[in-house]
């Protein structure tokens, strides 16, 4: 969710700016598991699904396995009492040999046996999904370290939902011997395998509409993760398994195409695109002169050629052109209508993040959740994870290509943005959706932004054609479900129901 300016997207650029060398890695191997060639053992009883979540213990983990994914397993237990006692909750680890990814799972408050399933991840890269869970859209919110409060606008009102601490090293996730991943494409493989194993064991979820959602750096994560799930379906069918009914991606305040963002950073601080201009005329005039060169350098060296040395130079130049002037203002980069409360590097401008960390460091909460004893103090975001992704220039990849490919295959996409966000702003996301190369581009671009209504008032702007919807949320920043919980839930419920805004 949270794109940390100290550890997330700006952190990536900062790390790139100060690094002496970078290596850009691509994944040349197929993004799907190797499927065993003999399946008669599968039919002969090698795999028996657990079937019922009620069979899980609240005291010890139950381990789930599947022969098609020999390197992956899932540990899961009941953990109902720590949050919203009105629904069943479960926690556990996705185990990939010596790597272990922590997750939460909450059943729907309405009809868990029929409602859709949502996968949620935070951004960063390196920020824990506990922030999305306990600050924004989860069934309970942490106000103080010693208590939680019921969230009436939680996204599990009409959906079952996962919150996943990924990749390795984020939140309660850990590795036995320092194993890591350093690109989004690498991380995608483990999550796709997890989804398949979970659905095969708890067969009541088979065929359900599955939505992959995320915030901030989730604009990079989610299109890649969803593409992995989609591509993996071919292999699931070959193995005699049920494919995942991937229905949509939902990206909130995402940074998907950095190339479209640089000019937008100028627009958001030097024009009334959201609030009145927040930077001086002198700074804005200088930025206006530098932005075209920044865009040209980034396009030629990063998004088109992935030339690590020249891309680093482009990032350095763009950072100085648009980031440095903004950070000097002291304004909250996640909400242009506010000043930063505290320090970005300390609490992300939101003191509540400290309360969440204290809550998750309580011994009783860790016992209830089943957190491994080797995990140290909880941290909202990880420097180490951010640095690994930065070293691979993961964030410069034009991830909009994945969105276009999903749209061409009938997977819907909702791009929603709190209108006051600066770091992954609505202007940049609007430009990204308009520039997407897909069959519905002409129809989408022909639509004008119009207001969508909620409770008789305007809630934001929207544009839609076919499977693609773009929407803004008024008076909301980077964490839209935190700032405008009612409107955000309304947007998601309409999306799940297939209703237009």
Gap between the Cα atoms of 275 and 422, Å rounded: 10
Active-site annotation, residues: 216, 421, 478
> How far does Cα 272 stand from its chain's mean position?
28
Kindly write down the DSSP assignment for every residue of 187-235, as one continuous string: HHHHHHHHHHHHHHHSGGGTT--EEEEEETTHHHHHHHHHHHHHHHHHH
How buried is 114 (Cβ within 10 angstroms: 0-12 exposed, 13-18 middle, 19+ buried)? exposed
SS3 state of residue 36: coil
Are the CB atoms for 338 and 332 separated by under 8 Å?
yes
Tokens of 28: 């040349």
Distances (CA, A) of 454 to 159, 417, 467, 484: 20, 16, 22, 12
Nearest to 318 by CA among 83, 17, 12: 17
Of 187, 205, 183, nearest to 196 (Cα)? 205
Q: Which helix (H) or strand (E) holds 101?
A: strand 99-106
Tell me the CA distances in angstroms from 383 to 125, 276, 345, one per residue in order.
9, 33, 10
β-pairing verdict for 159-165 and 210-215: unpaired
Where are the strands (E) in 134-240, listed by range? 140-144, 147-150, 159-165, 174-175, 210-215
DSSP 8-state secondary structure symbol assigned to residue 68:
T
The residue to which tokens 């069959």 are assigned: 439
- How far apart are alpha carbons 22 and 311 in whole angstroms? 10
404 with 224: CB under 8 angstroms? Answer: no
- List helix spans (H) across 118-183: 130-131
Distance between CA atoms of 29 and 136, rounded to whole angstroms? 37
Alpha helix (H) residue ranges in 239-351 = 261-270, 281-298, 308-318, 324-327, 344-347
- DSSP per position, 444-458: HHTSPPEEEEETTEE
């Amino acid at each position: 969710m949270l794109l940390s300016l100290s550890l997330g997207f700006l952190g990536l650029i900062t790390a790139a700016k100060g690094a002496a060398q970078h290596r850009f890695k691509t994944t040349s191997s197929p993004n799907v598991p190797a499927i065993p060639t003999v399946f008669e053992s599968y039919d002969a009883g090698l795999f028996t699904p657990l079937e019922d979540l009620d069979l899980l213990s609240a005291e010890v983990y139950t381990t789930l396995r599947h022969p098609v994914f020999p390197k992956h397993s899932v540990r899961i237990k009941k953990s109902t009492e720590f949050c919203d006692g009105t629904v069943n909750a479960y926690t556990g680890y996705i185990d990939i040999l010596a790597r272990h990814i922590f997750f939460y799972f909450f059943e729907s408050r309405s009809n868990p046996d029929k409602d859709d399933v949502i996968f949620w991840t935070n951004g960063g890269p390196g920020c824990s999904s506990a922030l999305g869970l306990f600050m924004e859209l989860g069934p309970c919110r942490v106000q103080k370290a010693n208590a939680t409060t019921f969230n009436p606008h939680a996204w599990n009102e009409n959906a079952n939902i996962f919150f996943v601490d990924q990749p390795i090293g984020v939140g309660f996730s850990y590795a036995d011997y320092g194993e890591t991943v350093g690109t989004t494409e690498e991380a995608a493989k483990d999550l796709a395998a997890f989804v398949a194993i979970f659905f095969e064991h708890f067969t009541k979820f088979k065929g359900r509409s599955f939505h992959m959602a995320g915030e901030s750096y989730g604009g990079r994560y989610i299109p890649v993760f969803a593409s992995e799930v989609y591509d993996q379906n071919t292999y699931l069918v070959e193995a005699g398994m049920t494919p995942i009914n991937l229905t949509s991606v939902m990206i909130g305040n995402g940074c998907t195409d950095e190339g479209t963002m640089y000019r937008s950073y100028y627009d958001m601080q030097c024009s009334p695109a959201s609030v009145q201009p927040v930077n001086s005329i002198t700074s804005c005039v200088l930025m206006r002169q530098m932005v075209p060169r920044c865009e040209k350098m980034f396009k030629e060296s990063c998004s088109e050629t992935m030339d690590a040395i020249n891309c680093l130079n482009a990032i350095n130049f763009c950072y100085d052109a648009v980031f440095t002037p903004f950070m000097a203002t002291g304004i909250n980069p996640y909400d242009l209508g506010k000043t930063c409360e505290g320090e970005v590097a300390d609490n992300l401008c939101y003191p509540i993040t400290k309360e969440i960390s204290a809550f998750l460091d309580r011994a009783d909460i860790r016992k209830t959740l089943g957190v491994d004893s080797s995990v140290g103090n909880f941290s909202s975001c990880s420097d180490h994870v951010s640095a690994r992704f930065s070293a691979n220039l993961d964030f410069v990849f034009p991830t909009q290509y994945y969105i276009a490919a999903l749209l061409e295959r009938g997977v819907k996409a909702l791009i929603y943005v709190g209108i006051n966000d600066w770091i992954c702003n609505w202007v940049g996301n609007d430009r990204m959706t308009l520039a997407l190369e897909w069959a519905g581009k002409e129809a989408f671009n022909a639509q004008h932004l119009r207001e969508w209504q909620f409770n008789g008032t305007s809630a934001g702007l929207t544009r839609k054609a076919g499977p693609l919807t773009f929407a803004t949320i008024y008076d909301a920043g980077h964490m839209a479900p935190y700032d405008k919980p009612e409107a955000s839930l309304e947007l998601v419920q309409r999306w799940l129901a297939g209703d237009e805004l």
